[in-house]
């Protein structure tokens, strides 16, 4: 599917560092791929052609002078448009941020650029990352490159589609309840949500701060590992980032899966389509054939994840989104007095799903209901965490479907928010536990559409998670 040749990010960077490949040519190839298909895909809110060309010229100059442009030299990246880029609009696909240009870069943006990666654009998302199909964007939906009558998943649908369509070598998304893994599955690319705190979130526009985490989309497990090796690590600007270095994931994927214990969740909530379930069954068989052992585990509180999430995430969102009041950011609708201005601005600026979350969250936090809803949800969250921890004493990783179905048609979930929320049944519990999870493409299901298998692991067990993902990927070659 990717337009430019499927070579690894590491080999591209090596060639650019050696001066045998020009970053300028790589950028032109990607801009040409964008020109050809972006009109039908709409992966981007903004394509940064001039900036990308200028950055490529600087990288080629560095290499020509005998300096090292970095481990991602000339590798192109698309950024979900909820990551701050200095002087460049950052919209969260919301009207309420119209015209806002952040005065600083997110740490991940700075880190990637320092490593030689070239930003080609800002990608579309469900408004403020709330959704599972990218249909909630104020700027219109993104289409799935495998079938443009279908959604790419969400909320990071633009980032997933950009990689699947060959618009960039890799991209970044954010995952609060599945927003990297689910679109990765639906678009047939690798998507990783690292352990909470693995990657700095400084400059990521907050949705639900106790859950949000940044991670990569890539064409291969190895590329995703390389990107995480670059962006992972402590950041003094993000007090939730883990203050210790992470072991190399690129190094870890060389090891096989022999002797690893792969957990099957016996009490996993039902709901996966038969074509998706068939791929998951095959994934277990594949790992067993590669020398791993399959063990049955139970994670009883898993099935309460969705309910707890839809109290905790909206509660945090209602607080985080209070700042968009027409005073400091973007849109302002003038009115007779300040209160009316706040109301008019928020009424005009937020879409339906964002308003629904703000109201749900405000209700869940209000006096008299706090203990019954928010407080209860926090207790359930603890149970989910503890159940997972127990399971990880018996299994090194757990395997589940990423998404219950392959990519669905636009409008298929109608105006039933609950049908949409069910897309995240298998991804959400991991966010509540703070654990890492990733989706790896594992063949196709109904109508030849991509299916992803989800690999879950305990806190900071990314090396093992990547080993398993790499083994599944190898078996597909």
Helix (H/G/I), strand (E/B), else coil: 197 = coil
Catalytic residue among 179, 200, 241, 318: 179
- Pick 166 or 177: Cβ nearer ligand GLN: 177
- Pick 9 or 438: Cβ nearer ligand GLN: 438
Catalytic residue among 94, 137, 155, 403: 155
Q: For the chain, give the longest Cα–Cα distance.
A: 71
> How wide is the angle at C-alpha 404 spanned by C-alphas 398 and 409, nearest 5°?
150
Told to judge if 155 belongs to the known catalytic residues of this protein, a careful annotator would answer yes
Q: For the chain, what percentages of helix, strand and coil (3-state, to nearest 5) are there?
A: 45, 15, 40
* DSSP type of residue 134: S
State the nearest-atom distance from the C-beta of 198 to ligand GLN, in Å: 16
> What's the rounded Cα separation, in Å, for the pair 263 and 38?
40
SS (H, E, C) 286-339: HHHHCCCEEEEECCHHHHHHHHHHHHHHHHHHHHHHHHCCCCCCCCCCCCCCHH
- Pick 193 or 346: Cβ nearer ligand GLN: 193
Told to judge if 355 belongs to the known catalytic residues of this protein, a careful annotator would answer no
Supply φ then ψ for residue 155, to 5 degrees: -85, -15
Give Cβ neighbours of residue 337 (< 8 Å, ≥ 6 apart).
Answer: none
- Pick 21 or 159: Cβ nearer ligand GLN: 159
Told to judge if 210 belongs to the known catalytic residues of this protein, a careful annotator would answer no
State the nearest-atom distance from the C-beta of 222 to ligand GLN, in Å: 25
State the nearest-atom distance from the C-beta of 212 to ligand GLN, in Å: 7
State the nearest-atom distance from the C-beta of 209 to ligand GLN, in Å: 12
Instruction: Provide the binding-site residues for ligand GLN, judged by CB under 6 A.
Output: 129-132, 155, 174-179, 207, 313, 424
Supply φ then ψ for residue 325, to 5 degrees: -125, 10
- Pick 361 or 445: Cβ nearer ligand GLN: 361
Instruction: Specify whether the CB–CB gap between 124 and 142 falls below 8 A.
Output: yes
State the nearest-atom distance from the C-beta of 473 to ligand GLN, in Å: 23
Instruction: Please give the positions annotated as active site.
Output: 80, 155, 179
């Amino acid at each position: 599917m990717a337009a430019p040749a499927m070579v690894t990010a590491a080999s591209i960077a090596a060639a650019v560092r050696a001066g045998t490949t020009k970053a300028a040519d790589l950028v032109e190839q990607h801009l040409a791929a964008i020109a050809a298909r972006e009109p039908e895909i709409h992966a981007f809110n903004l394509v940064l052609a001039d900036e990308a060309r200028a950055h490529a010229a600087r990288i080629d100059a560095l290499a020509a002078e005998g300096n090292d442009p970095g481990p991602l030299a000339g590798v192109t990246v698309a950024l979900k448009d909820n990551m701050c880029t200095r002087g460049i609009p950052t919209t969260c696909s919301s009207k309420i941020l119209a015209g806002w240009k952040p005065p600083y870069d997110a740490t991940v943006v700075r880190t990637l650029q320092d490593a030689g990666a070239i930003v080609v654009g800002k990608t579309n998302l469900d408004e403020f990352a709330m959704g599972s199909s990218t249909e909630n964007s104020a700027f219109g939906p993104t289409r799935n490159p495998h079938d443009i009558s279908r959604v790419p998943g969400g909320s990071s649908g633009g980032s997933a589609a950009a990689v699947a369509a060959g618009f960039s070598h890799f991209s970044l998304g954010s995952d609060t309840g599945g927003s990297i893994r689910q679109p990765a599955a639906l678009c047939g690319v690798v998507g990783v949500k690292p352990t909470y705190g693995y990657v700095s979130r400084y400059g990521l526009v907050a949705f639900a701060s106790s859950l949000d985490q940044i991670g990569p989309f890539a064409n291969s497990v190895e590329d995703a590992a390389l990107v995480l090796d670059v962006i992972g690590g402590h950041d003094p600007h993000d007090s939730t980032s883990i203050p210790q270095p992470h072991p190399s994931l690129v190094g870890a994927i060389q090891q096989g899966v022999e002797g690893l214990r792969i957990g099957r969740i016996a009490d996993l909530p039902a709901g996966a389509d038969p074509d998706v379930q068939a791929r998951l069954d095959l994934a277990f068989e594949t790992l067993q054939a590669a020398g791993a052992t399959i063990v049955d585990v139970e994670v009883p509180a898993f099935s309460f994840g969705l309910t707890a999430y839809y109290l905790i995430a909206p509660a945090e969102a209602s607080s985080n989104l209070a700042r968009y009041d027409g005073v400091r950011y973007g849109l302002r609708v003038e009115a007779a007095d300040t209160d009316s201005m706040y109301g008019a601005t928020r009424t005009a600026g937020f879409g339906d799903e964002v308003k629904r979350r703000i109201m749900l969250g405000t209700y869940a936090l209000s006096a008299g209901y706090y203990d019954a809803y928010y407080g209860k949800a926090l207790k359930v969250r603890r149970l989910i965490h503890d159940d997972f921890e127990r399971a990880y004493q018996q299994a090194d990783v757990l395997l589940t479907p990423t998404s219950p179905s392959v990519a669905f048609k636009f409008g298929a979930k109608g105006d039933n928010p609950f049908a949409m929320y069910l897309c995240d049944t298998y991804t959400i519990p991991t966010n509540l536990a703070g654990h890492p999870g990733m989706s790896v493409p594992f063949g196709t299901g109904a109508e030849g559409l991509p299916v992803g298998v989800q690999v879950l692991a305990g806190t900071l067990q990314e090396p093992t998670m990547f080993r398993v993902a790499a083994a599944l990927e190898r078996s597909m070659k």
